[in-house]
Amino acid sequence: MVHIPFATSDSSIQSRSLKILCSTALKSAILKITNDHSELSVFAINFRFGPTTELLDVFEKDNDIDALILTKEAIVNLINAKRLKEPRFDLAKTGIGVGMKLGHNKPDISTVEKFKKFLKDAPSLAYTSDGVSGIYIGKLIEEFNMTKELSGKTKLVKGGLAAELIIKDQVIFALQNISELSSVQNIEIVGPLPNDIQRITTFSGGTSFYSKKSITVEKFFKVMQSKEARLILSDRGLEPIS
pLDDT digits (tens, 9 = 90+) for 10-44: 334 445 789 999 999 999 999 999 999 877 777 78
Residue 242 has pLDDT above 70, yes or no: yes
Task: Name the pTM for this structure.
Answer: 0.87
Residue 8 has pLDDT above 60, yes or no: no
Residues 6+ apart with CB under 8 A from 202: 71, 72, 90, 92, 93, 241
Of 37, 24, 63, the C-alpha closest to 162 is 24
pLDDT digits (tens, 9 = 90+) for 152-211: 999 999 988 999 999 999 999 999 999 999 999 999 999 999 999 999 999 999 999 999
Torsion angles phi and psi, residue 50, rounded to 5: 175, 180
Query: How do beta strands 125-128 and 173-177 pair?
Result: parallel
Give the length of the chain.
242
What letter represents residue 36's amino acid? D
pLDDT digits (tens, 9 = 90+) for 81-134: 999 999 999 999 999 999 999 999 999 999 999 999 999 999 999 999 988 999
Q: Sign (positive/negative) of CA torsion 36, 23, 184, 191?
A: negative
The structural domains of the chain, ordered by start, are: 2-94+202-240 (3.40.190.10), 96-197 (3.40.190.10)
Q: What is the pLDDT of residue 189?
A: 97
Q: What is the pLDDT of residue 7?
A: 38
The rounded mean pLDDT for the chain is 92
- What is the SS3 assignment for 139-161? HHHHHCCCHHHHHCCEEEECCCC
